[in-house]
């Protein structure tokens, strides 16, 4: 009954499955409605506990949010030395229940990343090229991504960018 036993996956169909043009085909509408009703009745199957990681220029903040976005555990490491400093992260994780996903605050997403994105090696490499735009924080954020990935490689990790917020401001608010 390890971590893998608590993971789950629901696949509804391909990208066209629930589009207006496909709902009338082969019972797709009924299947979609039945599946959604089944999931709604079993909220615990779609509830996710998230580890939130916020690396500053010298500190590291970790929080676990429950499915209702309540903080159930948190720690602030005042002097975190970077990617190779796994002990504070491992100690924190040892004291929390299962986590299903990780969210990283990353300062700069550049022009390309204007919304949250699943972090892959390719995405992380692209983010590393933006270090000149945030030389104090970008390397630290990416060090946290690497450190948490070393401890929780099986979990999806999402990058959330400070610059994405600014990219979505209306023109009147951004001047």
Which residue's structure tokens are 């924080």?
137
CA distance 11 to 22: 16
At residue 36's C-alpha, the angle toward residues 31 and 26, to 5°, is: 15
How far from chain centre, in Å, is Cα 84? 21
Of 83, 84, 82, 49, which Cα lies nearest the Cα of 67?
49
Q: Which of 66, 85, 114, 162 is catalytic?
A: 162
Residue 14 designated active-site: no
Backbone dihedral angles phi then psi of residue 162, each to the nearest 5 degrees:
-55, -40
Which residue's structure tokens are 């990353």?
106
Residue 87 near residue 97, CB atoms below 8 Å: no
3-state secondary structure of 67: coil
Structure tokens at 114: 């204007």
- CA-only gyration radius of the chain, Å: 19
Instruction: Give catalytic residues, as residue numbers.
Output: 162
């Amino acid at each position: 009954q390890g971590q893998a036993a608590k993971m789950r996956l629901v696949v509804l169909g391909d990208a066209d499955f629930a589009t207006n043009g496909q709902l009338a085909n082969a019972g797709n509408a009924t299947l979609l409605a039945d599946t959604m009703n089944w999931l709604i009745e079993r909220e615990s199957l779609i509830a996710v506990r998230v580890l939130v990681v916020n690396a500053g220029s010298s500190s590291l903040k970790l929080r676990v949010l429950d499915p209702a976005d309540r903080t159930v555990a948190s720690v602030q490491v005042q002097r975190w030395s970077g990617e190779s400093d796994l002990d504070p992260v491992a100690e924190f994780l040892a004291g929390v229940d299962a986590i299903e996903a990780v969210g990283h605050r990353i300062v700069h997403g550049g022009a390309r990343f204007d919304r949250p994105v699943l972090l892959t090696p390719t995405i992380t490499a692209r983010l590393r090229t933006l270090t000149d735009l945030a030389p104090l924080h970008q390397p630290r954020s990416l060090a946290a991504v690497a450190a948490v990935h070393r401890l929780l490689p099986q979990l999806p990790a999402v990058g959330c960018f400070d610059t994405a917020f600014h990219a979505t401001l209306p023109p009147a608010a951004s001047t």
